[in-house]
Chain A
Amino acid sequence: MNRNLKKYFPLFVLPTLVAFTIAFLIPFLLGIYLSFTKFTTVNDATFIGFGNYIKAFQNHDFLNALWFTTKFVVVSVLTINIFAFAVALLLTRGKKGTNVFRTIFFMPNLIGGIVLGYIWKLIINGILARYGVTLTYSETYGFWGLVVLMNWQMIGYMMIIYIAGIQSVPDELMEAAKIDGASRWQLLRHVTLPMVMPSITICLFLTLSNSFKLFDQNLALTAGDPSKRSSMLALDIYNTFYGRNGWEGVGQAKAVVFFIIVAVIALLQLKITRKKEVES
Chain B
Amino acid sequence: MRRAKKAVALIVTLLMTASLCSGCGSKKSTEIYFLNFKPEIAQVYEDIAKDYEAETGVKVKVVTAASGTYEETLRSEVAKSDPPTIFQINGPVGFQNWKDYCADLKDTNLYAHLSDKSLAVTEGDGVYGIPYAVEGYGIIYNQAIMDKYFAMGGVVSSMDEIKDFTTLKSVVEDMQSKKADLGIEGVFASTSMASGEQWRWQTHLANIPLYYEFKDNTAYDNTILAGLASDEINFTYSDNFRNVFDLYINNSCTEKGMLSGKSVSDSMAEFALGQCAMVQNGNWAWAQIKEVSGNTVKEEDIKFMPIYSGIAGEASQGLCVGTENYFAVNSQVSDELQKASEDFLYWLFSSDKGKDYVVNQLGFISPFDTFADDEKPNDPLSKEVLAWMEKDTTSVVWAFASFPSEEFKNQFGDALLEYTQGNQDWDYVVNTVKDAWKSEKANQ
A-B contact pairs, 21 of them (CB 8 A): A14-B13, A15-B16, A15-B17, A15-B20, A19-B20, A41-B75, A125-B261, A131-B257, A133-B257, A136-B261, A225-B195, A225-B414, A226-B260, A228-B414, A242-B75, A243-B406, A244-B406, A245-B405, A246-B97, A246-B444, A247-B443
B-facing residues in A106-148 (Cβ within 8 Å): 125, 129, 131-138
Residue A186 at the chain B interface, CB threshold 8 Å: no
B-facing residues in A58-77 (Cβ within 8 Å): none
Residue B100 at the chain A interface, CB threshold 8 Å: yes
Q: Are A18 and B257 interface neighbours, CB within 8 A?
A: no
Q: Are A133 and B414 interface neighbours, CB within 8 A?
A: no
Q: How far is the CA of A217 from the CA of B20 in the complex (A)?
A: 32
Assess A136 versus B71: contact at CB under 8 Å? Given A40-B97, A40-B100, A129-B258. Answer: no
Chain B residues within an 8 Å CB radius of A242: 69, 71-72, 75
Partner of B196, one of A14, A223, A244: A223
Residue B218 at the chain A interface, CB threshold 8 Å: no
Which residue of the partner chain B has the closest CB to A225? B195
Residue B41 at the chain A interface, CB threshold 8 Å: no
Q: How far is the CA of A135 from the CA of B258 in the complex (A)?
A: 9
Contact with A along B404-444 (1 / 0, CB 8 A): 01110011001101100101000000000000000000011
The residues of B with any CB-CB pair to A shorter than 8 Å are: 9-10, 13, 16-17, 20, 69, 71-72, 75-76, 78-79, 97-98, 100, 195-196, 255-258, 260-261, 405-407, 410-411, 414-415, 417-418, 421, 423, 443-444
Assess A18 versus B423: contact at CB under 8 Å? Given A8-B9, A132-B257, A225-B260. Answer: no
Number of interface residues of A (CB under 8 A): 36
Contact with B along A181-212 (1 / 0, CB 8 A): 00000000000000000000000000000000
Residue A224 at the chain B interface, CB threshold 8 Å: yes
Q: Are A226 and B443 interface neighbours, CB within 8 A?
A: no
Which residue of the partner chain A has the closest CB to B444? A246
Q: Are B410 and A243 interface neighbours, CB within 8 A?
A: yes
Chain B residues within an 8 Å CB radius of A227: 411, 414-415, 417-418
Chain A residues within an 8 Å CB radius of B17: 14-15, 18
Q: Are B417 and A136 interface neighbours, CB within 8 A?
A: yes
Chain A residues within an 8 Å CB radius of B97: 40, 245-246
Q: Are B195 and A133 interface neighbours, CB within 8 A?
A: no
Assess A223 versus B195: contact at CB under 8 Å? Given A125-B261, A244-B406. Answer: yes
Contact with B along A28-57 (1 / 0, CB 8 A): 000000000000111110000000000000
Chain B residues within an 8 Å CB radius of A8: 9
Q: How far is the CA of A132 from the CA of B196 in the complex (A)?
A: 22
Which residue of the partner chain A has the closest CB to B73? A242
The residues of A with any CB-CB pair to B shorter than 8 Å are: 8, 11-12, 14-15, 18-19, 22, 40-44, 125, 129, 131-138, 223-228, 242-248
Assess A132 versus B9: contact at CB under 8 Å? Given A43-B79, A244-B406. Answer: no
Q: Are B71 and A245 interface neighbours, CB within 8 A?
A: yes
Which residue of the partner chain B has the closest CB to A137? B421
Residue of A14, A19, A133 most packed against chain B (CB within 10 A): A133
Assess A41 versus B260: contact at CB under 8 Å? Given A133-B421, A244-B405. Answer: no
Chain A residues within an 8 Å CB radius of B78: 41
Q: How far is the CA of A245 from the CA of B404 in the complex (A)?
A: 10
Chain A residues within an 8 Å CB radius of B16: 15
Assess A44 versus B100: contact at CB under 8 Å? Given A134-B260, A226-B423. Answer: yes
Chain B residues within an 8 Å CB radius of A43: 79
Chain B residues within an 8 Å CB radius of A131: 257
Q: Are A246 and B443 interface neighbours, CB within 8 A?
A: yes
Chain B residues within an 8 Å CB radius of A247: 443
A228 to chain B, nearest CB (A): 7
Give the 10 A-B residue pairs with the shortest CB-CB distance, closest first: A227-B414, A242-B72, A223-B195, A41-B79, A132-B257, A133-B257, A136-B260, A15-B16, A245-B97, A134-B260
Q: Are B10 and A224 interface neighbours, CB within 8 A?
A: no
Chain A residues within an 8 Å CB radius of B417: 136, 225-227
Chain A residues within an 8 Å CB radius of B76: 41
B394 to chain A, nearest CB (A): 32
Assess A138 versus B13: contact at CB under 8 Å? Given A227-B418, A246-B97. Answer: no
Chain A residues within an 8 Å CB radius of B257: 131-134, 137
Q: How far is the CA of A134 from the CA of B190 in the complex (A)?
A: 14
